[in-house]
Chains A and B, each alone.
Chain A
Amino acid sequence: MNPLNRLRETWRPDQVFDLVQPTPTFDKSLDTKHGPILYVEDVSVSFDGFKALNNLNLYIDDGELRCIIGPNGAGKTTMMDVITGKTKPDSGSVYFGQRINLLKLSEHAIARGGIGRKFQKPTIFEALSVFENLELATASNKHVWYTLNHHLSGEQRDRIDEVLTQIGLTNHYQQEAGALSHGQKQWLEIGMLLVQNPRVLLVDEPVAGMTGEEVEHTAQLLTSLKGRHSVIVVEHDMAFVRSIANKVTVLHQGSVLAEGSMDQVQSDPRVVEVYLGE
């Protein structure tokens, strides 16, 4: 890089933060040639003596749909917090592809880099319309000075339309998001992840509180994402998990208890013990 460019880079108005405290970005390209897209290795997190995660090891393949189950307090949400940068672990490493160290990145950088997250409780911008919700989430330059005078390109509009069809909200795009039904809010949130074109989607309890029909629709939506995105679903609803997953991971007390197909996992005596008790 020649000095002039470097200077220009340094003085980019949105880079003031980086000037004082450099935050690494996704400078290296994503490398998944060995298969997994997400490496979670030996991760431990403890809150005040309570071990939420205990030497957790988890590998997610590129394009895979993985379901994660486990009783309450097994560390499912904490695991998501660690991957998305909300919680920094006490030890262990988390890599995105083979070269990108997620532990050094902040939440927004991880989100920009291609890891989207849906929360347990649907969190959407209730005051904005469905379309504006998606517009905000759309992948583009998200720096302050850029957004001050930015309009959507035709390409981005197309992508939003595409996602609207995918989540089945085309007819509602002008509606205020707060007025949507519970299920629609969940889909809108998934849609907001999709317009970011993420490589990995973390979906926390997508069907909680949904009607049977809505659950079915959600299952279709998630399975249709397989291949194009890696999807990690945390869910309690066993029927739902069975309907979408080919590979299931069981978490217990902060580490992996069992892994495999739904049938394999369900016949594992340790899993039965954890779920049913002695």
Chain B
Amino acid sequence: MLTQRLLLSDRGGMLVLGLVVLMAIIVPICNLAVPGDSPLHVSNFTVGLLGKFLCFALLALSVDLIWGYAGILSLGHGAFFTLGGYGMGMYLMRQIGDRGVYGHPELMDFMVVLNWQELPWYWQGFDMFWFAMLMVLLVPGLLALAFGWLAFRSRVTGVYFAIITQALTYALMLAFFRNEMGFGGNNGLNDFKEILGFDLAAQATRVGLFIASAIALVLGYLACRYIVTSRAGRVIVSIRDAESRTRFCGYQVESYKLWLFVFSAMLAAVAGALYVPQVGIINPGEFAPLNSIEMVVWVATGGRGTLFGAIVGAFSVNYAKTFFTTYSPETWLFILGGLFVLVTLLLPKGIVGLFDRFRRKGEK
């Protein structure tokens, strides 16, 4: 029953998930077991890149859930992603212990530089993995809860919501840039050594993180599927299409929006937490409003309102980004900007919609 609901009725989703699972199996084998001179070998760089893309895909899912299904455009999802990343980063920093440049057993290097005497209260507990992971979920979740509660209750919708979420991530960026915040200021958190006792520099650990990201993406996808196929999911779509009607049907529209927003924020935070150990750094630049808007474009490109479309979009746009920033960095912003315009003008349903159109033409 549940499999039917989550998977079988969703052919595109099955295809995309199948590819993700396949990738999660083949890439590690081709990286670790196949010798470096074989044409089948997957380089360490590629593993890192794909791992990043998997995190972005999870992030795109969270954006699609709130924008594609509930019609709420959040330009602040980068904030939740980054907060999740900082949570993980704080855990990784605590794992450095006395191996920092200044060799202080408890304080981070940047705290020593600032001449701080003791660990700030909000850094307490982050040496425990479970606590850090709890915070990765709780802090963005609570922020989304408070912010969403205020916004949805006063019926802030549409562009207004988009603008204030953008202001939120902008404010967080400015705040995290300050050294006094105790999150490393400009430089952020970096120079991580190990996670759960595994050396972060070791390729096996990196492959492990890659697999973990793939698993998180699959689980995240299924959770989103569960929500959108439930009756609550239909209520959410109804809110998008006819908010007032839904309200007069007796649904408390605000609380649907709120819980979806909170869930989406937590999903984004998980993506951020998985992203940080793979790239080895988290800094306030991740809060930049541009990042949050870029996520929206992944979803728009892939096809909003279909969950697998978000994954397709995240992979394709990020692949293009890697390609162009390597071979012709000048053109990337032209292409990204052009993509914004083209997708909104010509492809309102994204790549997935394009395929659908072709398929329908073929059937006729």
Q: Does B251 contact A (CB under 8 A)?
A: yes
Q: Does A135 contact B (CB under 8 A)?
A: yes
Most buried by A among B153, B249, B254, B256: B249
Residues of A206-231 contacting chain B, CB below 8 A: none
Q: Is there contact, CB below 8 Å, between A150 and B241?
A: no
Q: How far is the CB of B302 from chain A (nearest CB, A)?
A: 19
Q: Does B238 contact A (CB under 8 A)?
A: yes
Q: Does A144 contact B (CB under 8 A)?
A: yes
Choose from A106, A136, A139 the contact partner of B238 (Cβ within 8 Å). A136
When distances are taken between beta carbons in the complex, the residues of chain A under 8 Å from B232 are 144, 147-148
Would you give the 0/1 interface string for A133-151, flagging 1 where the beta carbon is closer than 8 Å to chain B? Answer: 0011101001110011111
The answer to whether residues A108 and B238 also contact, given A119-B244, A123-B244 and a CB cut-off of 8 A, is: no
The answer to whether residues A127 and B248 also contact, given A136-B231, A148-B232 and a CB cut-off of 8 A, is: no
Q: Is there contact, CB below 8 Å, between A136 and B242?
A: no
Q: Does B227 contact A (CB under 8 A)?
A: yes
Q: Is there contact, CB below 8 Å, between B241 and A126?
A: yes
Q: Does A117 contact B (CB under 8 A)?
A: yes
Q: Does B197 contact A (CB under 8 A)?
A: no
Would you give the 0/1 interface string for A168-206, flagging 1 where the beta carbon is closer than 8 Å to chain B? Answer: 000000000000000000000000100010000000000
Q: Is there contact, CB below 8 Å, between A111 and B250?
A: yes
Q: Does A17 contact B (CB under 8 A)?
A: yes
Would you give the 0/1 interface string for B211-236, flagging 1 where the beta carbon is closer than 8 Å to chain A? Answer: 00000000000000011001110110
Q: Does B255 contact A (CB under 8 A)?
A: yes
When distances are taken between beta carbons in the complex, the residues of chain A under 8 Å from B255 are 14, 16-17, 143-144
Would you give the 0/1 interface string for B244-270, flagging 1 where the beta carbon is closer than 8 Å to chain A? Answer: 111111111111100100000000000
Q: Does B32 contact A (CB under 8 A)?
A: no
Give the number of A-B contacts (CB < 8 Å): 88
Q: Is there contact, CB below 8 Å, between A116 and B248?
A: yes
When distances are taken between beta carbons in the complex, the residues of chain B under 8 Å from A125 are 237-238, 241-242, 245-246
**Total number of B residues with any Cβ neighbor in A under 8 Å:** 27
Q: Is there contact, CB below 8 Å, between A124 and B245?
A: yes
> In this complex, what residue of B is CB-closest to A150?
B231
The answer to whether residues A128 and B253 also contact, given A108-B247, A111-B248, A123-B244 and a CB cut-off of 8 A, is: no
Q: Is there contact, CB below 8 Å, between A136 and B247?
A: no
Q: Does A44 contact B (CB under 8 A)?
A: no
A14–B237 Cα distance when bound, in Å, is 19
Q: How far is the CB of B237 from chain A (nearest CB, A)?
A: 6
Q: Is there contact, CB below 8 Å, between A127 and B231?
A: no
The answer to whether residues A196 and B244 also contact, given A148-B227, A149-B230 and a CB cut-off of 8 A, is: no
Q: Is there contact, CB below 8 Å, between B252 and A142?
A: yes
Q: Does A84 contact B (CB under 8 A)?
A: yes
Q: Is there contact, CB below 8 Å, between A192 and B249?
A: yes
Q: How far is the CB of A150 from chain B (nearest CB, A)?
A: 5
Residues of A105-135 contacting chain B, CB below 8 A: 106-109, 111-112, 116-117, 119, 123-128, 132, 135
A19–B267 Cα distance when bound, in Å, is 26
Q: Is there contact, CB below 8 Å, between B248 and A84?
A: yes
Q: Is there contact, CB below 8 Å, between A128 and B251?
A: no
Q: Is there contact, CB below 8 Å, between B249 and A111?
A: yes
The answer to whether residues A144 and B259 also contact, given A119-B244, A196-B249 and a CB cut-off of 8 A, is: yes
Q: How far is the CB of B250 from chain A (nearest CB, A)?
A: 4
Q: Is there contact, CB below 8 Å, between A128 and B234?
A: yes
A84–B230 Cα distance when bound, in Å, is 28
A190–B252 Cα distance when bound, in Å, is 20
A124–B242 Cα distance when bound, in Å, is 7
Residues of B140-167 contacting chain A, CB below 8 A: 149, 153
Choose from B149, B153, B235, B248 the contact partner of A147 (Cβ within 8 Å). B235
Chain A residues within CB distance 8 Å of chain B: 14, 16-17, 20, 84, 106-109, 111-112, 116-117, 119, 123-128, 132, 135-137, 139, 142-144, 147-151, 192, 196
Known: A111-B248, A142-B252, A148-B227. 5 other contacts (CB 8 A): A111-B249, A126-B241, A126-B242, A142-B235, A144-B255
- Please provide the 7 A-B residue pairs with the shortest distance between their CB atoms, ordered closest to farther: A112-B250, A111-B250, A147-B232, A123-B245, A147-B231, A148-B232, A108-B252
Chain B residues within CB distance 8 Å of chain A: 149, 153, 226-227, 230-232, 234-235, 237-238, 241-242, 244-256, 259
Cross-chain pairs A/B with CB under 8 angstroms, 8 sampled: A108-B250, A108-B252, A123-B242, A125-B241, A136-B249, A144-B255, A147-B235, A148-B232
